Amino acid sequence: MTATDRELAVSAARAAGDVLLHYWNSRDTITPSRKRAGDFVSQADVEAEESLKEKLLSERPGDGWLGEESGEVSGSSRRWIVDPLDGTTNFLRGISHWAVSVALEADGELVLGVIHDPVKDETFHAERGEGAQMNGSRLVGSSTDQLSDALFGTGLPFGAMAHIDEHADDLRRLLPHCAGMRRMGSAALDLAYVAAGRLDGFWERKLQLWDIAAGLVLAREAGLRVEGWTAAERPEDSGSVVTSTTALFESFAGLVRGA
């Protein structure tokens, strides 16, 4: 029997996770290269993406492809969007906060997202209109309704430090009003954690599509409000995302946007 897209994506993500765990357990032998300041790639990233590409496109040979390491392959109106190792710096430093991210886009809309954390054996997945789950448990976001109780996630600019002044201003506006902020080094997992209610919201500017595609599906299907840097902007188009529970969104978004 042919696997569904969700079954295929989960299986592929878990197989890539096994590749990464092999390297994780011998990471002292890895010699990474630098794409740019603060942005690393290793053989682990490359082999995990090769595993994903082989499994996904062998089962769906007509589909397109967008991978962080291998680039874009044209195909049908469907496209797989993959980050084989989101959190490479954490991985290389022995910090166990990294994940495999797999999304499916159909006719320009994100319809499926899978984020697999091999170290914790947690697999988050969501399909448009079907809700979000983690290891069989339904995800509905947090119940926090007071900004003063809320914990948010973000990413900080690195390398050339683009947008550092803007992000510093975001923090200056938000931090006095909330319970805290976490910068954990994997946008994919941060978005999964918002869907799971571990974080109450997340924001970041100018990410790549493979960083956030799967997480956007999870957040939306968990009932969160998801916008770009403006309400009219789609994060998948701009790479900038603001998301939180509905109860917190207006106050949270107003602060980080400087409204």
- Secondary-structure class of domain 147-257 per CATH: alpha beta
User: In the predicted model, is pLDDT for residue 94 greater than 70?
Assistant: yes
User: In the predicted model, is pLDDT for residue 100 greater than 50?
Assistant: yes
Quick: pLDDT tens for 167-201: 899 999 999 999 999 999 999 999 999 999 999 99
Mean pLDDT, residues 134-139? 97
Listed by start position, the domains of the chain span 5-139, 147-257
Q: β-strand 78-86 against 64-67: which pairing, if any? A: parallel
So what's the pLDDT on residue 38?
A: 46
Contacts of 236 (CB under 8 A, 6+ apart): 110, 209, 212, 213, 216
User: Can you give the three-state secondary structure of the chain, one letter per residue?
Assistant: CCCCHHHHHHHHHHHHHHHHHHHHCCHHHCCCEEEECCEEECHHHHHHHHHHHHHHHHHCCCCEEEECCCEEECCCCEEEEEEEEECHHHHHHCCCCCEEEEEEEECCEEEEEEEEECCCCEEEEEECCCEEEECCEEECCCCCCCHHHCEEEECCCCCCCCCHHHHHHHHHHHHHHCCEEECCCCHHHHHHHHHCCCCCEEEECCCCHHHHHHHHHHHHHCCCEEECCCCCCCHHHHCCEEEECHHHHHHHHHHHHCC
Contacts of 232 (CB under 8 A, 6+ apart): none
Quick: pLDDT tens for 30-46: 776 655 444 456 788 89
Mean pLDDT, residues 93-117? 97
Separation CA 111–CA 171 (nearest Å): 32
So what's the pLDDT on residue 53?
A: 97
- Average pLDDT across the chain, whole number: 93
What fold is seen in the domain 5-139?
A: Fructose-1,6-Bisphosphatase; Chain A, domain 1 (3.30.540)
So what's the pLDDT on residue 30?
A: 75
CB 114 within 8 A of CB 8: no
So what's the pLDDT on residue 39?
A: 46
Q: How confident is the model at residue 156 (pLDDT cuts 50, 70, 90)?
A: confident
